[in-house]
């Protein structure tokens, strides 16, 4: 995003009941099931969901007692937790298929450590990390508030709070903010579409949703009443996988930075941490967030690239977008290379990624979340490098 002038920027979010997020949740449930049994299991799981049907496919390497029946049951429990027990999509009677098979030996030989060879990247690719000063979590504001609105609606629905009575799991939001000289100053429009029970009118739904928008946006940021769109198509009773097919990895911009930063193209859910699509994107966010938290810049984009089977990154690149505070980006590459081992093994070990920690990432974004030391989740959101970065640059 630009640092000068006035402009509008928009990001969207989707709830855990959106069909693509249902697919992501099931894929990450499969991953966590394997990692709980074997921290070094290999998983690349894709899921398709549609009207009363769940199809799981992909490649794995792990304990033999992780059976198809066990994984199909875990998928049902994931759907149950999301809240789907509807005629068109129910955890009770959806038809579940599991087509997971053994990981390719040709991929495995490139990834596995052997002799003097370190563990290689699970695929080639480019990954990006980003951080900025727009929110306390150092995330782009349009995405931050899009997530926040839906997360608060979801929490109320799950707690059976009267403030969300009649609202169902599938929902989307979209927030447009006005920027002046690179800083967000208010919302110009907000869109929320949420599935609801039969018999509710558009006005009924809007009356429920409006308070969630008001309490999520900062004081003075509400757009005019005619720029708040709640269920603009009217009735939204048929939703979730019954209303639209869902696939793993189809919401990568929602998962990352809402379009405010580049994306390498690889999805996250269902992939174990040897897949640098996931682990290196987490590492890049970790580094970028620490650069901003250390006060070295107000915005930071990091790119890192890999080749399949090769441990060492092929390139590391920083762009501080002209906001660096007397920081040389070439020196920053060297400092980060000394502080963080960006090989697949180094990332896994530094961020403790070989654990069943991935289900919570499957909705409301992989970044800008609160690390939980007890559960071991969102370790890449820590700012424990900030002090060392300050010292390296004489701060």
CA pair distance 222, 169, nearest whole angstrom: 25
59 is in an annotated binding site: yes
283 half-sphere exposure, CB direction, 13 A CA radius: 32
204 is in an annotated binding site: no
244 annotated as belonging to a binding site for a ligand: yes
Bridge partners, 117 (sequence order): 114
Strand partners, 171: 194
Question: Is 109 flagged in the annotation as binding?
Answer: no
263 is in an annotated binding site: no
| 20 marked as part of a ligand binding site | yes
Annotate 246-289 with DSSP letters as a single string.
EETT--HHHHTTTTSS---S---TTB-TTSHHHHHHHHHHHHHH
CA distances (Å), origin 125, targets 42, 288, 308, 369: 18, 19, 8, 25
- Enumerate residues 6+ apart whose C-beta is below 8 A from 301: 128, 129, 130, 261, 262, 288, 318, 319, 320, 321
Beta carbons of 134 and 141 less than 8 angstroms apart: yes
The annotation status of 80 as a binding-site residue, yes or no, is: no
Residue 18 labelled as part of a binding site: yes
Is residue 103 annotated as involved in ligand binding?
A: yes
271 assigned binding-site residue: yes
- Is residue 289 a known part of a binding site? no
* Spatial CA neighbour of 85 closest among 173, 21, 168, 11: 168
Q: Is 275 annotated as a binding residue?
A: yes
Backbone φ, ψ for residue 388 (5° rounding):
-70, -35
Bridge partners (DSSP) listed for residue 42: 61
Q: Which residues are annotated as a binding site for Mg(2+)?
A: 20
Q: Which residues are annotated as a binding site?
A: 18, 20, 46, 59, 103, 170-172, 244, 250-251, 267, 271, 275
Q: Which residues are annotated as a binding site for K(+)?
A: 46
Q: Which residues are annotated as a binding site for ATP?
A: 18, 170-172, 244, 250-251, 267, 271
């Amino acid at each position: 995003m630009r640092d000068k002038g006035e402009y509008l920027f928009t990001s969207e979010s989707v709830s855990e009941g959106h069909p693509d997020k249902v697919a992501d949740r099931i894929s990450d449930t499969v991953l966590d099931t394997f990692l709980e049994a074997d921290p070094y299991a290999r998983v690349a799981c894709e899921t398709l969901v549609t009207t009363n049907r769940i199809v799981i496919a992909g490649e794995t390497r792990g304990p033999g007692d992780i059976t198809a029946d066990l994984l199909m049951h875990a998928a049902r429990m994931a759907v149950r937790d999301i809240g789907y027990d509807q005629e068109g999509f129910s955890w009770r009677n959806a038809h579940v298929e599991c087509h997971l098979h053994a990981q390719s030996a040709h991929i495995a030989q490139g990834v596995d450590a052997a002799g003097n060879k370190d563990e290689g990247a699970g695929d080639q690719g480019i990954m990006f990390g980003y951080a900025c000063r727009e929110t306390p979590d150092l995330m782009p504001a349009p995405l931050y508030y899009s997530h926040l609105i839906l997360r608060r609606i979801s929490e109320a629905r799950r707690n059976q709070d009267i403030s969300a009575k009649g609202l169902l799991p599938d929902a989307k939001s979209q927030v447009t903010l006005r920027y002046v000289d690179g800083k967000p100053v208010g919302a110009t429009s907000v869109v929320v579409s949420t599935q609801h029970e039969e018999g509710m009118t558009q006005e009924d739904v809007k009356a429920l949703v409006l308070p969630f928008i008001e309490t999520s946006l900062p004081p003075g940021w509400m757009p005019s009443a005619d720029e708040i769109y709640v269920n603009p198509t009217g009735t939204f009773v048929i939703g979730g996988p019954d209303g639209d097919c869902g696939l793993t990895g189809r919401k990568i911009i929602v998962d990352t930075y809402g379009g405010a930063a580049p994306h390498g193209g690889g999805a996250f859910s269902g992939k174990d941490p040897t897949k640098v699509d996931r682990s290196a994107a987490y590492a890049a966010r970790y580094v970028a967030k620490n650069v901003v938290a250390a006060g070295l810049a107000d915005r930071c984009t990091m790119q890192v690239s890999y080749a399949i089977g090769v441990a060492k990154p092929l390139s590391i690149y920083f762009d501080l977008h002209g906001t660096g505070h007397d920081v040389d980006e070439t020196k920053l590459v060297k400092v980060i290379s000394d502080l963080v081992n960006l090989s697949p093994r180094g990332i896994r070990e530094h961020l403790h990624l070989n654990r069943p920690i991935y289900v919570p990432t499957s909705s409301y974004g992989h970044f800008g979340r609160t690390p939980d030391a007890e559960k071991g989740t969102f370790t890449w959101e820590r700012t424990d490098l900030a002090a060392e970065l300050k010292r390296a640059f004489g701060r």
